[in-house]
Structure 1
Amino acid sequence: MILSRTATTFAPPVMEARRWLDGVDFPADRPLINVSQAAPVDPPPDGLRHVMADVALGRDDAHLYGPVLGLPELRAELAHQTSRIYAGQVETDHIAITSGCNQAFAAAIATLCAEGDEVILPTPWYFNHKMWLDMSGVKTVPLKTDAALLPDPEVAQSLITPRTRAIALVSPNNPAGVEYPAELLRAYFDLARRNGIALILDETYRDFHSQSGAPHGLFEDPDWEDTLIHLYSFSKAYRLTGHRVGALAGSKSRLAEVEKFLDTVAICPGQIGQHAALWGMQNLSQWLAGGRDEILKRRRAIETGFHRLTDKGWSLLGSGAYFAYMAHPFAISSAELAQNLVRDQSVLCLPGTMFCPTDDATGARQLRIAFANLDTSGIGILFDRLAGMNTGG
């Protein structure tokens, strides 16, 4: 039997988890805590919303097809800010705007891979990356991370074959929250260059990195574009998730290939969201800094308060950006535990089995908590509920 491309992969994890809510009644004194999806639920700030309304009402061209690679002004601003942040040389022609960062990854893979090629993904992996590789006929090669959830370049080297086309890293990491050290990213850049493959670096959560200054120096390399494909998202920074605005930075020759992909899939990214992203980059730096401070405050609340769960046998494996990744103490799989948490504790989270190959037993011990929409008080309530979970569910 020949399977369709979509039949080669699993159901979208966030959508699958939402179905666990069907038929469940949550007591008034224990409302649902949804920590399953890493997306802000608050709307954009008022100033940004007014800009979007003004664009919608006052710019007729915003309702037409726009440039396939995105608005030139937004591409130029992102190139300028990327150059400034990373002390590198990034030009407008290195930038493509995409309909979300997932599309940026899809475009990168389309320019790199043919049927049967391979891409290395550290595990636990970002499930949408795995899904797209499946649907592209590309083999995913799992790279198991160490106890600190960091991928070892020497192990990665051992996995490279003549069919390997790229290594894809996410930092700060989804799902683990771990921030990859600059020297580790440089080691992967050098590894990729040495082997003639691409390094895809997804920095969707860069704006919530705990380090001040640039998280790495890869753009300082004058020839960065021969190896690096950089992905970014405006969605988390400016609360534009519903408007789908992401970006890809790569060589000018690669962008010619990216343009073919984007023109076929979406023709162009939505223009109202692009105008919003541009205005946000130019006017909301202080507001964004405040949002980053709040996320870092919540991360500290996770780390300082976790002892309440450690006493119950839980372990905090990683934290950062929007995420806490933890190991549970129960004899059942996290796939079952996550569903029991909905019923017994009114908590919706994702099991580690959704971020690992089916033959990787570590996923059965792990859970991902996306805490971006929980304040410090809410984190305390979450810990109370997890601590109250009985062994065996």
Structure 2
Amino acid sequence: MQGVQSPIIPIVGEWIRTTPGTISLGQGVVYYSPPPEAIEQISQFLAQPNNHRYQGVRGMPPLLDAIEKKLVAENGIEMNGDNAIVVTGGSNMAFMNGVLAITQPGDEIILSVPYYFNHEMAIAIAGCRSILVPTDENYQLRPQAIADAITPKTKAVVTISPNNPTGVVYPEALLAAVNQLCRDRGIYHITDEAYEYFTYNNARHISPASFPHSSNHTISLFSLSKAYGFASWRIGYMVVPQHLLDAVKKIQDTILICPPVISQYAAIGALQAGKAYCKEHLGAIASVREQVLNSLQPLKEYCTLAPTDGAFYLFLKIYTPLDPLKLVERLICEHRVAVIPGTTFGQTQGCYLRLAYGALQKETAAEGIERFVRGLTEILSNLS
């Protein structure tokens, strides 16, 4: 465990706590609360005394049915007997379930850099190795580089689209190439789709498990945390090949016993509200996004921003020799605005920062980004 990186969010959170008035452009959450349909389900949960006891390890049948309908209607994923749904304690747990189900200590899993830090941490906790493959200059996948990184110990390739931390959306052709590569090489494609509804400029989210002949090698991860505004409720789900179901059930029974039943009730209500609930808030997030992009224009001489069409993140390459964690600390302590250093996402060459804008109302976002632009300009100009 000493070799596992420390999560950066608590470190930045402590700096924020000791600097009152800091505006956070750090943690990736949305500004809105759960839908009324989710809250109303709590009374249904409380009405049944047996709900306080353990329930099925895979999830409640009504929720599994609702998820199946959603997967077919929205993701084009057919539940065909070759795959199965498992409700999890968030998509982070779904990822851990998947890694433990397919690996032995010493095995390898390929991550594209920048990666989501909890993925890299989970792989290390499982006693496996992350094999890091750089993305291109726009943070898009490089299928040939991924193919070149495969060894006899490789068990999976991980993709995240829409992406955390970069905000890019992978086109269908790239995802199809990676999925086919995994099928040809006899390894798994783990696809994290937590931000499936958060796309802009007509970008389209694609579920790799919708591709023909993908059921036996594709592990799909989903979360309700972002779209429905209940990150702390810890509820998500995964679609796994049927031949992995027994392994996943063993892992889940050991770590969790069963997904939180009260959160499963809320999830049923959320799925009743459907993606329309997220979409009605997406306009406000898109507006904040445009505001942030416009406000960053004065920083052109200090940084590069690749084009992005998804999630609620921006990943900036900063032209400075400064250590990114030190830069983050200075932005908080001197200018009361928080971001996340790129090093925690595996971007160790150069100085990168991730900005998250989903949690902010327009007025707060305007003040936060103004502080960021002013602070970064002041810090970097004083170096030259």
**Range into which the TM-score falls when normalised by the shorter chain:** over 0.9
Q: For residue 140 of structure 1, report the CA deviation from its aligned partner.
A: 0.5
Runs of 5+ consecutive residues of structure 1 not aligned to the other structure: 1-5
Aligned to 2:67: 78
Q: Deviations over 1:7-26 (max 9, x none)?
A: 220111111211223543x3
Matches within 5 A, 1:295-306: 295-306=285-296
Q: For residue 212 of structure 1, report the CA deviation from its aligned partner.
A: 5.9
> TM (normalized to structure 2)?
0.92
Where 1:325 maps in the other structure, the secondary structure is strand
Matches within 5 A, 1:227-246: 227-246=217-236
In structure 2, what is the Cα distance between the partners aligned to 1:384 and 1:294? 19
Matches within 5 A, 1:43-54: 43-52=33-42, 54=43
Q: For residue 216 of structure 1, report the CA deviation from its aligned partner.
A: 2.3
Kept in 1: contact 2:179–2:208 (CA 8 A):
yes
Q: Deviations over 1:229-267 (max 9, x none)?
A: 000001111112111001110112212211000000010
Instruction: Kindly indicate whether residue 330 of structure 2 is the aligned counterpart of residue 340 of structure 1.
Output: yes
Q: Which moved more, 1:225-234 or 1:317-326?
A: 317-326
Instruction: Kindly indicate whether residue 9 of structure 2 is the aligned counterpart of residue 14 of structure 1.
Output: yes
Q: For residue 300 of structure 1, report the CA deviation from its aligned partner.
A: 2.5
Match of 1:64 among 28, 40, 53: 53
1:223 aligned partner, one-letter code = H
With a CA cutoff of 8 Å and minimum separation of 6, indicate the structure with the bigger relative contact order.
2
In structure 2, what is the Cα distance between the partners aligned to 1:20 and 1:102? 25
Instruction: Kindly indicate whether residue 102 of structure 2 is the aligned counterpart of residue 112 of structure 1.
Output: yes
Q: For residue 42 of structure 1, report the CA deviation from its aligned partner.
A: 4.1
Matches within 5 A, 1:90-129: 90=79, 94-129=84-119
Kept in 2: contact 1:79–1:94 (CA 8 A):
no
Q: For residue 217 of structure 1, report the CA deviation from its aligned partner.
A: 5.8
Where 2:86 maps in the other structure, the secondary structure is strand
Q: Which moved more, 1:229-238 or 1:279-288?
A: 279-288
Q: For residue 157 of structure 1, report the CA deviation from its aligned partner.
A: 0.7
In structure 2, what is the Cα distance between the partners aligned to 1:41 and 1:165? 37
Label 1:353 to 1:287 Cα distance change in 2 as closer, same or farther (>3 A): same
Label 1:214 to 1:87 Cα distance change in 2 as closer, same or farther (>3 A): farther
In structure 2, what is the Cα distance between the partners aligned to 1:84 and 1:211? 22
Q: For residue 82 of structure 1, report the CA deviation from its aligned partner.
A: 0.9
Aligned to 1:368: 354
Where 1:208 maps in the other structure, the secondary structure is coil
Kept in 2: contact 1:309–1:386 (CA 8 A):
no
Q: For residue 154 of structure 1, report the CA deviation from its aligned partner.
A: 0.3
Aligned to 1:138: 128
Label 1:309 to 1:378 Cα distance change in 2 as closer, same or farther (>3 A): farther
Matches within 5 A, 1:279-358: 279-310=269-300, 312-319=301-308, 320-356=310-346
Q: For residue 180 of structure 1, report the CA deviation from its aligned partner.
A: 0.8
Matches within 5 A, 1:152-171: 152-171=142-161
Kept in 2: contact 1:85–1:214 (CA 8 A):
no
The share of aligned pairs that are identical, in percent, is: 27
The count of corresponding residues between Structure 1 and Structure 2 is 377
In structure 2, what is the Cα distance between the partners aligned to 1:112 and 1:271? 27
Where 2:152 maps in the other structure, the secondary structure is coil
Runs of 5+ consecutive residues of structure 2 not aligned to the other structure: none
Aligned to 1:3: none
Label 1:11 to 1:264 Cα distance change in 2 as closer, same or farther (>3 A): same
Instruction: Kindly indicate whether residue 384 of structure 2 is the aligned counterpart of residue 391 of structure 1.
Output: no
Q: For residue 214 of structure 1, report the CA deviation from its aligned partner.
A: 5.9
In structure 2, what is the Cα distance between the partners aligned to 1:127 and 1:285? 27
Aligned to 2:44: 55
